[in-house]
Amino acid sequence: AQSVAQPEDQVNVAEGNPLTVKCTYSVSGNPYLFWYVQYPNRGLQFLLKYITGDNLVKGSYGFEAEFNKSQTSFHLKKPSALVSDSALYFCAVRDDGGATNKLIFGTGTLLAVQP
Amino acid sequence: EAGVAQSPRYKIIEKRQSVAFWCNPISGHATLYWYQQILGQGPKLLIQFQNNGVVDDSQLPKDRFSAERLKGVDSTLKIQPAKLEDSAVYLCASSLDPRTTFEGFFGPGTRLTVL
């Protein structure tokens, strides 16, 4: 069965510093990987996805993520954090060999960027 | 382009009462999803529609939850009777063609509190 793990409940980083939010996955086939962000009282906003091709994926708001097949990881990164990046981040996976195209979400990582 | 619309945004009911949520997806999106997000957890798929047919309802508690998408556009999710553990945010999402676009676009959610 497919699954996603976000090992950190919270990540703290100072404004201007680089940030990394970790995600590992488990699927039986090839993974389709996604990052979403959720601001308070808002729905999930799509940030980026990896389907195939270049392992480094660039997305919205300066975020990027690197697909690492050997480590089954898809960590979210940003070179310079902003206070406005503070939010809840979810990693999700879909198995291309699955019978349906539902997304399996991780438990979320709260990113707190201090001024 | 208008996003996914959901109503109501907030609902408070007592246990054993019934409640209904409404979702209007992005125009032209054939696939519609209902997710349940319990506090501190990632969203969990309850049901997925392709046009007006059900693709996946394996995690829908069918003894109390029901959903329909009669004309293949908007959808309603109903809980009857509600339990305390149903307190959550109910997210609706849609996608144009999950075989090619993969990611879903989410509405703002309905926050349900069961007392």
Rounded CA gap, B33 and B10, in Å? 19
Residues of chain B with Cβ-Cβ distance to A105 below 8 Å are: 42-44
pLDDT at A9: 95
pLDDT of res. B23: 97
* pLDDT (tens digit per residue) in A16-74: 999 999 999 998 888 899 999 999 877 889 999 998 889 999 998 999 999 999 999 99
Query: What is the pLDDT, as a whole number, of residue B88?
Result: 97
Instruction: State residue A92's pLDDT score.
Output: 94
Mean pLDDT of A1-12: 93
How many residue contacts between A and B have a Cβ separation below 8 Å?
Answer: 57
Picking from B45, B99, B103, the nearest residue to A102 by CB comes out as: B45
Of all residues in chain A, the one with the smallest CA distance to B33 is A102
Average pLDDT over every residue of A89-112:
84
- For residue A79, report the phi and psi dihedrals to the nearest 5 degrees: -65, -35
What residue in A sits closest to B55 (Cα-Cα)? Answer: A100
* Statement: residue A98 has pLDDT above 70: no
8 Å CB contact of A107 and B105: no
Of B4, B41, B56, the CB nearest to A100: B56
**So what's the pLDDT on residue B37?**
94
Q: Given CA atoms B7, B8, B9, B15 in this order, what sign does their dihedral have?
A: negative
**Across chain B, which distance is largest between two alpha carbons, in Å?**
42
pLDDT tens for each residue of chain B, 115 residues long: 679 999 999 999 999 999 999 999 999 898 999 999 999 889 999 999 988 899 889 999 999 999 999 888 999 999 999 999 999 999 999 988 766 666 788 999 999 999 9
Q: Is the peptide bond before B61 cis (omega within 30 degrees of 0)?
A: no
Closest Cα of chain B to A106: distance in Å?
A: 5
Disruptive mutation site among A101, A104, A109 for chain B (greatest number of B CBs within 10 Å): A101
Confirm or reject contact between A43 and chain B (CB < 8 A).
yes
Nearest to B109 by CA among A39, A35, A9, A10: A39
Q: What is the pLDDT of residue A40?
A: 83
